[in-house]
Amino acid sequence: MAFSVQLGEPLFNLVFWLDELQVAGVSLARVVGVGLVPPDRTAGTAAPTDDHVEVRDVRYAYREGRDVLHGIDLDLRVGERLAVVGPSGAGKSTLGRMLAGIHPPTGGSVTVGSVPLVELPVDDLRQRVALVTQEHHVFVGTLAQNLRLADTSASDERLAEALDAVDALGWARALPDGLETGVGSGGHVLTPAQAQQVALARLVLLDPHTLVLDEATSLLDPRAARHLEGSLDAVLTGRTVIAIAHRLHTAHDADRVAVVDAGRITEIGPHDDLVAAGGEYARLWESWQQE
């Protein structure tokens, strides 16, 4: 599916201010994941057979005995765009974190190619599923170092390719010391759009097949979104994308929409089908139209 201009302002044209791929969050997943793996087992011995992400009877409790997800089943088709909608507090972000392996579920499983995410070595996990939020951070260091957060062994050539893929190579080369220019606090100041492109280039380097986009606290600037559309497009193409929409007015360009309510998926299907069904999504959709 193309994320093209003719779609108007569809869900995925919104720029999620892509951040540093939740490096910290994934580390947490590793720590937690290791804690859950029985000591007589080695995590990461099984290799996923494909890119198919499956959610089976997933439950999650932040506090013992207080489930906020009550048995989620979800089959993601490889390459599909799924929008997750529903009232605030329904569990959308929590589900997103499960899908990205940030938190292991307290019940059920999330697997990729039949292997539970929690059993994947962290480097492997990061190359398969990434959680992307709208925050973007430029760290103190060179531009090259900022990019290598995603792949420490990436050659200069690969860094250039990644920048080129998101249409950022021109300005990057024009920096006083090119990719070796110091950026971040005290360094060369990148514009917000440039910082976003750096975050996108990191995603290109990481090359996960599945992206979970959470626009929870996004402060969207539609003009910036349009400007960066091509960059975002380059990153999303060919990947499975789950977009968690907290205050989206347009979900109809996704292949499917899942409605999460009180920790359960209550409806799932293409936009048109759900509208025709006249259920919760139809009501949500109608109320969005009136806003």
Instruction: Give me the least distance between CB of 284 and ligand ADP, in Å please.
Output: 13
Compute the distance between CA of residue 20 and CA of residue 283 in angstroms, rounded to an integer: 36
| 92 is a site residue for ligand ADP (CB under 6 A) | yes
| 94 is a site residue for ligand ADP (CB under 6 A) | yes
Applying CB under 6 A, which of residues 93, 109, 133, 197 lies at the interface with ligand ADP? 93
| 68 is a site residue for ligand ADP (CB under 6 A) | yes
Q: How far is CA 233 from CA 46, 152, 192, 241, in A?
A: 32, 25, 18, 12
| 88 is a site residue for ligand ADP (CB under 6 A) | yes
**Residue span binding ligand ADP (CB under 6 A) among the ranges 4-12, 89-97, 185-193, 235-243:** 89-97
Applying CB under 6 A, which of residues 10, 33, 91, 184 lies at the interface with ligand ADP? 91
Taking the least distance from each CB to ligand ADP, the nearer of 92 and 271 is: 92
CA triple 146-218-6, angle to 5 deg: 95
| 81 is a site residue for ligand ADP (CB under 6 A) | no
| 103 is a site residue for ligand ADP (CB under 6 A) | no
Closest CA to 203 of 229, 243, 237, 179: 237
Taking the least distance from each CB to ligand ADP, the nearer of 93 and 231 is: 93
Counting Cα atoms < 13 Å in the Cβ hemisphere of 148 gives 14
Taking the least distance from each CB to ligand ADP, the nearer of 91 and 184 is: 91
Q: Residues near 158 by Cβ (< 8 Å), separated by ≥ 6?
A: 151, 205
Compute the distance between CA of residue 60 and CA of residue 47 in angstroms, rounded to an integer: 25
| 116 is a site residue for ligand ADP (CB under 6 A) | no
Instruction: Give me the least distance between CB of 105 and ligand ADP, in Å please.
Output: 13
Catalogue the long-range contacts made by 149-155 (C-beta closer than 8 Å, 24 or more residues apart): 149/20, 149/21, 149/23, 149/202, 150/21, 150/202, 150/203, 150/205, 150/206, 151/205, 151/206, 154/205
Q: How far is CA 257 from CA 17, 55, 115, 244, 274, in A?
A: 22, 16, 25, 10, 8
Taking the least distance from each CB to ligand ADP, the nearer of 90 and 147 is: 90
Instruction: Give me the least distance between CB of 54 and ligand ADP, in Å please.
Output: 20
| 90 is a site residue for ligand ADP (CB under 6 A) | yes
Q: Are strands 81-85 and 256-261 parallel, antiparallel or unpaired?
A: parallel
Taking the least distance from each CB to ligand ADP, the nearer of 77 and 247 is: 247
DSSP 188: B
**Residue span binding ligand ADP (CB under 6 A) among the ranges 22-30, 40-48, 87-95, 145-153:** 87-95
**CB crowding 169-196: b at 16 or more within 10 Å, else e:** beebeebeeebebbbbeebeebeebbbb
Applying CB under 6 A, which of residues 36, 73, 78, 89 lies at the interface with ligand ADP? 89
Compute the distance between CA of residue 76 and CA of residue 82 in angstroms, rounded to an integer: 8
Taking the least distance from each CB to ligand ADP, the nearer of 30 and 92 is: 92
Compute the distance between CA of residue 250 and CA of residue 271 in angstroms, rounded to an integer: 10
| 191 is a site residue for ligand ADP (CB under 6 A) | no
**Residue span binding ligand ADP (CB under 6 A) among the ranges 16-24, 82-90, 176-184, 191-199:** 82-90
Q: How many residues bind ligand ADP (CB under 6 A)?
A: 10
By the criterion CB under 6 A, which residues form the site for ligand ADP?
Answer: 62, 68, 86, 88-94
